[in-house]
A and B are shown apart, each in its own frame.
Chain A
Amino acid sequence: MLVIGEVHTGLLQNSGEISESTCRQVLGLMAGESVRVSRRPIVHALSPERLTGVDCALPAASRSRIRGVGTVVSRCAVTGGRVAQGSSYVRVVRSETDRRLPWSHYLSRPGVVEVLGKAKAADLAEGFTGDPAPGCLDLGAVSGRFLDLVQASPLLDRRAPFKIPRTSLRWVAETGEPSIRFTLHTEQERTLRLTHPGPFTPAVVDLCEDLATHDWLLTSLLVIVERARIGATPGAQAVARLAPAIDHLMHLWMPAARVEEWLTPFWESLERRPGFTRQWRSLVDRVRDQVAMNTLALLSATAEAGRR
């Protein structure tokens, strides 16, 4: 029917970026399963996947009661040793019966939630990206817990260089004519509706996680630039406030680095409108211009002092 997921993204609670080997330890959520690490073009570490059992109402825009039973797939990721994510998703399918089956049935279909009774994909998609009623499947809570699991690792020093809120991206993927709709809701909430050709594959999850990472980077850089109060505070002070962005964020922008080729057109269309990279570049330029101007000011002040 459709696939729904939620990604929570935040700054890793550590003073600096963590090494690849620390990533492996932090993300080792399951005995006997390795953490997958890719190093090009940016270090990206992905934990093994874990399942959570659910038996509850699914969010429906019509508020009709739709019961789903099955398992949620969750995983954590660390990008550039700096950005942490908790991500969960389920494939929603119709059940062949209208009663709950023994649990082993659901475990033979990991990551699938079966709908008992009638349900329409559109109703569920609207319900999930809208305002889900309490008591419905809460993927946000599951992803939040997985992100907490990473952040609570004893290997982290919990001295993050700046405070920045987590963002959540709730996404729905369906098969059909290709389209993508990215919506900003509150400061921290985003939704994504994606229609892709062909059947669902986990590459779609990679795309959503990649978008969530970059949306978080952009959001965080905006917050830092805003906090610097450029123009309203003395140059040196503004630059000092911009420093965390230079130290910790600006090198992390690698859009679509881990996205399979058949899905890159979705990223490209978001680059045209709203133009994530365009906004990122303009912010980065702004930060660099501030630093350059401040350096010039410092140089001329030093020269002035030398002449006296």
Chain B
Amino acid sequence: MTPVHATFGEVAAERRIASVPLSHVSVELGHLYMEDFEAGPDRLREQFRRVAPWLATVRSLWRERVPGGRARVSTCFLVDDYFSRFSTPAELVPMVLEAAAEHDLSIDYLARESACAQSGGVELARLVEDRLVDDPPPETDGSRPPVKETGWLCNGSRSPRTAPLQAMGKARPWEPPAQNAKRGHSIFVDVELWDEKGPRRTWSCPFLAAVWQLLRLGLLRSEGRVPLPPVALDGGWPRDWDGLPAVVRLNPQAAPFSAYTTLSVLSPRFLPVELAVRTILSQVAVDDEVLRQVATRSESEGVRLEEELVDRISYVFV
């Protein structure tokens, strides 16, 4: 008898990572906070007026870049329902869509900020927190666990603690913090990721914004599945934010929500937040398999992506 070649498999022993449809670029047309809402629809119209030319520019740039000019560009809009609850979807969303339409902008997807913390049984923020790999200062050899200040993340070494002056003792002079990858001089950044009051943890705005970027880049998975896929809304807008899906598809013809790259058009007042976001994102280890999936896909359609994920994110501050 000839030898029989046996194969045996066990599903629970394998890792399956779903893939996600991807656009070329995801453009964030705006991010609405309570203060913007309180300022009235004029603030929104002003935002869309500023954004419109940049969206047109991005579209034409990608048309040039993509073979055949078939650029897939999707647009999104984020509403803050995490740090403060205001208005209702039924009242707010039509107003936003109307203001956008006045500038010939179409919002393809609408997302809730609280979904970046938790939605549909998936704690996206925890998922990203577990994927943080601290930027090690020189002489980090693994012999000790990474130095951590709970709830904070920095891009270098913090100043050594200066103990209060003790009797008979000399106060230790201040020593500066240092950035790990500095060029000549340091730009040291220390970001608060969350705080806790009793059992409730509040994620910081930069942390949720980092989650939001990862979601738009299609780089998150939960148990191998794509978290929070966009959902089309049947019927009218709900009267409560919790009744709204995490990511709503507004335009049935829209290009995919997630994309190879992202562009956010923001007011310069968000500059410090985005510096913090980049500090966080440059310490997130995205799953190897997910990175490979995205790289293979982009190469197969002739798009060369930046290796580092922070380089796939761009901004226009206007």
Pick the interface stretch among A49-57, A242-250, A272-280.
Answer: A49-57
Contact pick for A32, options B221, B283, B285, B307, CB 8 Å: B221
Residues 25-41 of A contacting B (Cβ, < 8 Å) = 29-34, 36-40
Alpha-carbon gap, A53 to B133, bound state (A): 6
Residues 122-152 of B contacting A (Cβ, < 8 Å) = 122-123, 126-127, 129-131, 133-146
**CB of A105 closer than 8 Å to a CB of B:** yes
Alpha-carbon gap, A111 to B282, bound state (A): 16
Which residues of chain A come closer than 8 Å to B223, judged between CB atoms? 32-34
Would A104 and B136 be within 8 Å (CB), given that A37-B12, A110-B285, A145-B145 are in contact? no
In the complex, the answer to whether A108 meets B10 with C-beta atoms within 8 Å is no
> In this complex, what residue of B is CB-closest to A109?
B307
**CB of B22 closer than 8 Å to a CB of A:** no
Residues 3-49 of A contacting B (Cβ, < 8 Å) = 29-34, 36-40, 44
In the complex, the answer to whether B181 meets A56 with C-beta atoms within 8 Å is no
Alpha-carbon gap, A6 to B17, bound state (A): 28
> In this complex, what residue of A is CB-closest to B306?
A108
Alpha-carbon gap, A71 to B140, bound state (A): 11
By DSSP majority rule, is chain A's interface helix, strand, loop, or mixed?
Answer: mixed
Which residues of chain A come closer than 8 Å to B134, judged between CB atoms? 53
Which residues of chain A come closer than 8 Å to B307, judged between CB atoms? 105, 108
In the complex, the answer to whether B181 meets A108 with C-beta atoms within 8 Å is no
Instruction: Tell me the smallest distance from the CB of A106 to a CB of chain B, in Å.
Output: 9
In the complex, the answer to whether B131 meets A30 with C-beta atoms within 8 Å is yes
Instruction: Tell me the smallest distance from the CB of B299 to a CB of chain A, in Å.
Output: 15
In the complex, the answer to whether A100 meets B141 with C-beta atoms within 8 Å is no
Which residues of chain A come closer than 8 Å to B138, judged between CB atoms? 55-56, 100
We find that the number of chain A residues with CB closer than 8 angstroms to chain B is: 40
> In this complex, what residue of B is CB-closest to A105?
B308
Contact pick for B282, options A36, A71, A103, A110, CB 8 Å: A103
In the complex, the answer to whether A56 meets B224 with C-beta atoms within 8 Å is no
Alpha-carbon gap, A145 to B137, bound state (A): 20
**CB of A299 closer than 8 Å to a CB of B:** no
Would A53 and B136 be within 8 Å (CB), given that A100-B181, A104-B281, A145-B145 are in contact? yes
In the complex, the answer to whether B283 meets A107 with C-beta atoms within 8 Å is yes
Interface centre among A33, A40, A141 (most CB of B within 10 A): A33
**CB of B14 closer than 8 Å to a CB of A:** yes
Alpha-carbon gap, A51 to B136, bound state (A): 12
> In this complex, what residue of A is CB-closest to B127?
A32
**CB of A139 closer than 8 Å to a CB of B:** yes
Interface centre among A31, A51, A111 (most CB of B within 10 A): A31
Which residues of chain B come closer than 8 Å to A105, judged between CB atoms? 307-308
In the complex, the answer to whether A107 meets B221 with C-beta atoms within 8 Å is no
In the complex, the answer to whether B143 meets A138 with C-beta atoms within 8 Å is yes
Which residues of chain B come closer than 8 Å to A51, judged between CB atoms? 133, 285
Alpha-carbon gap, A8 to B133, bound state (A): 22
**CB of A172 closer than 8 Å to a CB of B:** no
* B-binding residues in A (CB < 8 A): 29-34, 36-40, 44, 51-57, 69, 71-72, 100-105, 107-108, 110-111, 135-139, 141-142, 145
- Please name 13 further chain A to chain B contacts, defined as beta carbons within 8 Å, in addition to the given A36-B14, A107-B133, A107-B285, sorted by A numbering: A31-B126, A40-B10, A52-B146, A55-B180, A103-B155, A103-B180, A107-B283, A107-B308, A108-B309, A135-B139, A137-B142, A138-B142, A142-B142
* A-binding residues in B (CB < 8 A): 8, 10, 12-15, 122-123, 126-127, 129-131, 133-146, 155, 180-181, 220-224, 227, 281-286, 288, 291, 307-311
